[in-house]
Amino acid sequence: MKVRSDDEDVLADQIVEEGSASPADLIYTENSPALEYLQDKKLLAPVPRLTLDRVPSRFNSPASDWVGVSARVSVLVYNTRLASAGQLPTSVMSLAAPRWRGLLGIAPGETDFQPIVTSIARHYGKAAAVSWLEAVKANAEQHVYPDNETLAARVNSGQIAIGIINHYYWYRLKAEIGSASMHSAIAYFAPGDPGYVLDVSGAAVLKSSQHQRAADEFLAFVVSRRGQEILAHGDSFEYPLGSGVVTARALRLFASLQPADLTIADLGSGAEAVALLHQAQLL
């Protein structure tokens, strides 16, 4: 098996460009929009029912052509010396307030950032999303980072007080540098807040694949008990979604998460979020 690793947008774009000549059999992405984009382009093969049934249907493709594998939520990360839990905003919308100027870091180039933008646009409309982005951009000023890993590390080392990331970046940082070096913590937004977004990682087989059977078997394995156990114990710190497997890591219980009411279809292909980021000159 040959693996090409890159940002999900790059890979999705590449497959679209390659079209039916694509040498890829499978695609496994961090977020659902890249898969929805390929679905829009009619490039994905249907996933067998037995595989889909391993995962609650709300985490699968509405059109049944990709299967959810794992999930994570967006959270606030804060430096425990520079901010205290009590001061933190309970809504992502409050991050636009002037009091966070020079204290907030963001990574808008990350595909993980787009679902938050989409979520805000769904709740309050596109205009509100753009003004939120503009305010957040002004607050972040010199603290616009290329990725969530860097953002988490910079908050931890005290370059900046708070940031929006997905929960697992913080846990991975902790696993890498050890608890003794951690000077940060994570905080959850209020239940149902538009900043409290649950993102799904998923996998799909391409219609153009020459190895459909083997690819289908791979998907079945990924969501099987054995496949999900690997995720549950692995270093990704994501929540397994299939076969009733629960994470073995010390994370907040999956069942107790209270993310914004947002479906896979609501998150869409991410194109709208990119357009809004462009409008706010963040891209």
Report the residue number, 13 or 53, with the smaller CB distance to another protein. Answer: 13
Question: Contact at 8 Å (CB) between 34 and 9?
Answer: yes
**Is residue 270 near another protein by the rule CB under 8 A?**
yes
Instruction: Say what angle helices 212-223 and 225-233 make with each other, to 10 degrees.
Output: 60
Residue type, 78: Y
Shortest Å distance, C-beta 141 to another protein? 10
Looking at 40, 64, 94, 147, which residue binds another protein (CB under 8 A)? 147
Report the residue number, 52 or 140, with the smaller CB distance to another protein. Answer: 140
Choose among 123, 134, 164, 125: nearest CA to 147: 164
Burial of 147 (0-12, 13-18, 19+ CB in 10 A): middle
Looking at 78, 132, 145, 218, which residue binds another protein (CB under 8 A)? 145
C-alpha 167/C-alpha 90 separation (Å) is 16
**Is residue 233 near another protein by the rule CB under 8 A?**
no
Shortest Å distance, C-beta 177 to another protein? 8
**Is residue 2 near another protein by the rule CB under 8 A?**
yes
C-alpha 186/C-alpha 14 separation (Å) is 35
**Is residue 242 near another protein by the rule CB under 8 A?**
no
**Is residue 134 near another protein by the rule CB under 8 A?**
no
Size of the site for another protein (CB under 8 A): 48
**Is residue 229 near another protein by the rule CB under 8 A?**
no
Three-state SS at 101:
coil
Q: Which residue has the tokens 């107790």?
A: 256
Main-chain phi, psi angles of 242, to 5 degrees? -110, 160
* Sites of contact with another protein (CB under 8 A): 2-7, 9-10, 12-13, 16-18, 21, 23, 37, 109, 111, 114, 142-147, 149-150, 152-154, 157, 159, 172-173, 175-177, 235-237, 270-271, 273-274, 277-278, 281, 283
